[in-house]
Chain A
Amino acid sequence: MLPDQLLFAMEVTLNGLMAGVMYALVALGFVLIFKASGIFNYAQGVLALFAALTLVGLQNGQIPFAHLINATFGTKLHHFGWTLPSVVAIALTALVMVGLAYLIERLVLKHLVNQEPIILFMATIGLAYFLEGLGDVMWGADIKKLDVGLPQGISESIESVTDAWFGYGFFIDKLDVVAALVAAALVAALTLFSQYTKYGRALRAVADDHQAALSVGISLRFVWVLVWSIAGFVALIAGIMWGTKSGVQFSLSLIALKALPVLMLGGFTSIPGAIVGGLIIGMGEKLFEFFAGPLIGGATENWFAYVLALLFLVFRPQGLFGERIIERV
């Protein structure tokens, strides 16, 4: 029989890994866009929020811009009065995200071709605030409950199995397990797509060299719309997971900040890096809180990830899986 302390640490580790998966889901969206266009997309977190808001809105038949319409015309609209099945609502939201990707390319990126990365970065900051505002006006600022039928709550089977093995039942949230499976499937699909399809190859080509890509007949616009659509889709999945876990609320956009240390650890250009980085951050902050938290007064989860990322920046600035930075002299 293992000592209780160790078992508890194991449980904390597991929970940390599960939390890490949730960070990784957001980080994935960042990596996709960064790889394909060299843009650090500050709006990725807000994209997840916007996707979740739209999903809830569509599912519950909420009328978009209801507050605005009511305030202007003195009407009392709020719902269409339908409830869409989850699958339909998710499919519709995915379509909305593709449309959004198209608009972003049309209205923002197209006009900033060949600009410095910092300009594009600032454009995404603008985009983030715009989308946050748009989400508010469209769907309202109240916290919404998101339920697309994902299993939630403590998994009794894991608890009873571990109880039988160790005499100590692990508390694992079913939703976390689902998130881990979804993340694994997503990474596998994205890797296959980028390595073995013509569009994946076009995407990598554009990421590498714009001029060369043009010279073999690749349309940058098409690739950008494609990348932002995929990033929007990943944001939707992240939005579903986070929304189910903690409700759809505007603080969701802040989870984007947690993706930063994840990216610094994993490397901005690596899909596996985003996953591993997420796992390390998730596990690290839970374990640190568990072991060191009581000694220094707790609440370490707020800053631990950032300190870890800072240390990484000093010793390995490209991250664990990032491309080596080689400067030719």
Chain B
Amino acid sequence: MNAMDIEAAPAAADAPRIGGVLMEMRNITLRFGGVKAITDISFDIREGEIRAIIGPNGAGKSSMLNVISGFYVPQEGEVWFKGKRRPQMKPYEVAQQGIARTFQNIALFEGMSVLDNIMTGRLTLMKTGLWSQALWWGRAQAEEVEHRAKVEKIIDFLEIQHIRKTPVGRLPYGLKKRVELARALATEPKLLLLDEPMAGMNVEEKEDMCRFILDTNDEFGTTICLIEHDMGVVMDLSDRVVVMDYGKKIGDGTPDEVRSNQAVIEAYLGVQHD
């Protein structure tokens, strides 16, 4: 498995940070009844990069993320992952392939502790079978300890040691977002999808989250695709940006390219003033 190894040293400095194409969306069209949420969109995500999807409200950004993570099935188009066309899959199968995600409105297990929440991210990586688990035989216990150690590393990494045992339901919003990221990281994803990771946060929380996203990309080499409203954040964080408006792609390129794209300026940033 080429899932990220939490203990891996940062990638060697001379190796290029961004590799070949990891995921490719080809001519994706998604309809809800008569409403077209996404119209014929193609773009790719390269290994190791931070890719942003931006656009005004209702542009279809979240729908796109849901297509990538298998929650929505597009009527037309193909999804290519690791150089292979992905057959239609259930969301949990997509997750097992190494695509983790967070949600716009936070989907955590509110009744469970922070630690247990993050441990659920390890579930599909655990190998012991039902009977061994049920009867708690040797291997299952050793495995639990091993996974627990990895989870503790993630907890350290995201600086949430102090809330380890707290039930998630009691946490403030900003910390919940961080726990959700921790759970996604615990699955050792190849591709990490973040749906508005900074929505509703104050400046300080945003700065923290930015740092965690950059560090994740840096230290683990995780490919990240994120949706964000805060333009400043997007431009600082991402290597390349897809711009969507009314379900169509109107721009694609580096932050600088996108910033100077006339269609993008008009649709999203507003008409330019002198």
> Counting CB contacts under 8 A, is B123 at the interface?
yes
Who on chain A is nearest to B97 by CB?
A217
Residues of chain B contacted by A202 (CB below 8 angstroms): 120, 123
Per-residue interface assignment for chain B, residues 110 to 125, with 1 indicating a CB less than 8 Å from any chain A CB and 0 otherwise: 1110001001111110
Name, among A193, A197, A201, A217, the residue most crowded by chain B CB atoms within 10 Å (CB to CB): A217
With A198-B133, A199-B130, A208-B110 as known contacts, state yes or no: A217 contacts B71, CB within 8 Å.
Answer: no
Residues of chain B contacted by A205 (CB below 8 angstroms): 109, 112, 120, 123
> Counting CB contacts under 8 A, is A156 at the interface?
no
Number of interface residues of A (CB under 8 A): 24
Report the minimal beta-carbon distance from B232 to chain A, rounded to whole angstroms: 28
Q: Within B71-120, which residues are at the interface with A (CB < 8 Å)?
A: 71, 90-93, 95-96, 100-101, 103, 107-112, 116, 119-120
How many angstroms from the CA of A292 to the CA of B92 in the assembled complex? 57
> Counting CB contacts under 8 A, is A302 at the interface?
no
Residues of chain B contacted by A4 (CB below 8 angstroms): none
> Counting CB contacts under 8 A, is A314 at the interface?
no
> Counting CB contacts under 8 A, is A214 at the interface?
yes
Report the minimal beta-carbon distance from A8 to chain B, rounded to whole angstroms: 44
How many angstroms from the CA of A218 to the CA of B109 in the assembled complex? 13
Per-residue interface assignment for chain B, residues 189 to 220, with 1 indicating a CB less than 8 Å from any chain A CB and 0 otherwise: 00000000000000000000000000000000
Residues of chain B contacted by A196 (CB below 8 angstroms): 136, 144
- Please tell me if the beta carbons of B107 and A198 are within 8 angstroms of each other in the complex: no
- Please tell me if the beta carbons of B92 and A199 are within 8 angstroms of each other in the complex: no
Report the minimal beta-carbon distance from B258 to chain A, rounded to whole angstroms: 29
Per-residue interface assignment for chain A, residues 181 to 216, with 1 indicating a CB less than 8 Å from any chain B CB and 0 otherwise: 000000000001100111101101101110111111
- Please tell me if the beta carbons of B133 and A209 are within 8 angstroms of each other in the complex: no
How many angstroms from the CA of A30 to the CA of B116 in the assembled complex? 24
> Counting CB contacts under 8 A, is A219 at the interface?
yes
With A215-B103, A217-B123 as known contacts, state yes or no: A204 contacts B69, CB within 8 Å.
Answer: no
Looking at the complex, which one of A192, A207, A211, A219 makes contact with B90 (CB distance below 8 Å)? A219
How many angstroms from the CA of A293 to the CA of B116 in the assembled complex? 49
> Counting CB contacts under 8 A, is B61 at the interface?
no
Q: Within B168-193, which residues are at the interface with A (CB < 8 Å)?
A: 183-184, 186-187
- Please tell me if the beta carbons of A216 and B116 are within 8 angstroms of each other in the complex: no
- Please tell me if the beta carbons of B103 and A211 are within 8 angstroms of each other in the complex: yes
How many angstroms from the CA of A208 to the CA of B111 in the assembled complex? 7
Chain A contact residues, majority secondary structure: helix
How many angstroms from the CA of A323 to the CA of B218 in the assembled complex? 41
Residues of chain B contacted by A211 (CB below 8 angstroms): 71, 103, 107
- Please tell me if the beta carbons of B126 and A198 are within 8 angstroms of each other in the complex: yes
Q: Within B138-170, which residues are at the interface with A (CB < 8 Å)?
A: 140, 144
Looking at the complex, which one of B69, B92, B134 makes contact with A197 (CB distance below 8 Å)? B134
- Please tell me if the beta carbons of B187 and A216 are within 8 angstroms of each other in the complex: yes
Other 16 A-B pairs with CB < 8 A, given A192-B136, A214-B71: A193-B134, A198-B144, A199-B130, A202-B120, A207-B111, A208-B110, A209-B107, A209-B108, A209-B109, A212-B108, A212-B109, A214-B90, A214-B92, A214-B95, A215-B103, A216-B120
Chain B residues within 8 Å of A, Cβ to Cβ? 69, 71, 90-93, 95-96, 100-101, 103, 107-112, 116, 119-124, 126, 128, 130, 133-134, 136, 140, 144, 183-184, 186-187
8 A-B pairs with least C-beta separation: A217-B95, A212-B107, A208-B109, A217-B124, A214-B91, A197-B133, A217-B96, A211-B107
Chain A residues within 8 Å of B, Cβ to Cβ? 192-193, 196-199, 201-202, 204-205, 207-209, 211-220, 323
Would you list 25 pairs from A and B whose C-beta atoms are within 8 A, ordered by A residue? A196-B144, A197-B140, A198-B122, A198-B140, A201-B119, A201-B120, A201-B123, A202-B123, A204-B116, A208-B111, A208-B112, A209-B108, A211-B71, A211-B103, A212-B109, A213-B109, A214-B90, A215-B95, A215-B101, A215-B107, A216-B121, A216-B183, A216-B184, A218-B123, A219-B92
